[in-house]
């Protein structure tokens, strides 16, 4: 239990973070859980205004055991310091434990590599995880080791200032060869397990923008670069499918062109051809501008080589 008095005027979450020593994100979560009282009444919004001298009480939940166990799983670490690390995730690795994937995830590997020193903002199930890429998408992720780094990175993701570029192999040849795809993305009405582009006047879903450029024309396919202006669930996969050029190998949104089915079967390529190739952001602690690149994995290089003939 924490109690005391607010020291400054302003938003409740900010004032409580200053007065309690907790991170602002932690305070927001505690307010949402009904664990914060202000002058004897439950606080309902972290954005509420508060005045100096207001009395607060924060009921901290008892510490929970880590939901994920540390596992000695090799990681391809691209960069690491005391506050964050950038990892090149292989296709097939789930980012964090969930139903059906209790272990063998990136989080299990990170807990071992970092000896448990990861940001706790997302709780025990997703320590350090600021953003995700799909299980069968390969490439770069940034992971927070400190709460301060997590908050700084989360802010950059929220204001879309982080640079993210993906390389993908899509079916057919986009026309025009480069352009922008804009469309709200939300749960599909037909299949709740899938995402879909929704009407512009839809009241649900989130605005999403993907800028694409054809890098190489292939046989019944193309290597494209996608720059994300937003970061929505399955964004590249859904947007490319929406313009008639789904990613090769995508089991959910794709349909392999008939002339390429034998090639994909021969290569045993059975995942969406998508790789998070570059990631750029401002280091949330040092203020340094950082940019990282990860080469295409072997399976995508083989796919490109075969379809370039």
Instruction: Report the distance separating Cα 302 and Cα 57, nearest Å.
Output: 59
Strands 289-293 and 274-282: antiparallel
Distances (CA, A) of 241 to 85, 131, 237, 244, 308: 32, 23, 6, 5, 22
Has 219 been annotated as catalytic?
A: no
For residue 66, which of 5, 151, 8, 127 has the smallest C-alpha distance?
Answer: 127
Catalytic residue among 13, 72, 82, 134: 134
User: Which residues share a beta bridge with 226?
Assistant: 166, 212
Instruction: Report the distance separating Cα 21 and Cα 24, nearest Å.
Output: 9
Instruction: Report the distance separating Cα 300 and Cα 304, nearest Å.
Output: 6
**Three-state secondary structure call for residue 70:** coil
CA 71 to chain centre: 22
Look at phi and psi of residue 144 and say left if phi exceeds 0, alpha if psi is from -120 to 50, else beta: beta
Helix (H) or strand (E) holding 64, with range, is: none
Distances (CA, A) of 233 to 184, 227, 229, 236: 11, 15, 13, 9
- Residues serving a catalytic function are 134
């Amino acid at each position: 239990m924490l109690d005391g008095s607010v020291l400054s005027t302003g938003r409740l979450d900010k004032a409580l973070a200053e007065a309690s020593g907790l991170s602002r994100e932690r305070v927001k979560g505690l307010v949402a859980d009904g664990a914060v009282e202000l002058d004897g009444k439950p606080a309902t919004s972290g954005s509420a205004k508060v005045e100096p001298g207001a009395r607060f009480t924060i009921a901290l939940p008892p510490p929970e055991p880590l939901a994920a166990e540390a596992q000695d799983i090799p990681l391809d670490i691209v960069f690491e310091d005391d506050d964050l690390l950038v990892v090149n995730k292989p296709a097939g690795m789930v980012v964090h434990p969930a139903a059906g994937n209790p272990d063998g995830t990136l989080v299990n590997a990170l807990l071992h590599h970092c000896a448990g020193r990861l940001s706790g903002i997302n709780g025990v199930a997703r320590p350090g995880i600021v953003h995700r890429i799909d299980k069968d998408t390969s490439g770069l992720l940034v992971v927070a080791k400190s709460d301060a780094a997590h908050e700084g990175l989360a802010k950059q993701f929220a204001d879309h200032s982080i640079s993210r570029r993906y390389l993908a192999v899509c079916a057919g040849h986009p026309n025009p060869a480069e352009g922008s795809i804009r469309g709200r993305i939300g749960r599909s009405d037909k299949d709740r397990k899938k995402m879909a582009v929704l009407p512009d006047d839809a009241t649900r879903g989130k605005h999403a923008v993907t800028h694409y450029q054809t890098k190489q024309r292939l046989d019944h396919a193309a290597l494209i670069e996608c720059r994300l202006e937003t970061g929505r669930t399955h964004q590249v996969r859904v947007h490319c499918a929406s313009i008639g050029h789904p990613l090769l190998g995508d089991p959910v949104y794709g349909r392999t062109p008939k002339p390429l089915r034998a090639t994909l079967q021969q290569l045993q390529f059975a995942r969406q051809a998508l790789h998070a190739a570059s990631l750029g952001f401002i280091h949330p602690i040092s203020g340094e501008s950082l940019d990282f690149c990860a080469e295409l994995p072997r399976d995508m290089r083989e796919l490109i080589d075969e379809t370039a003939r």
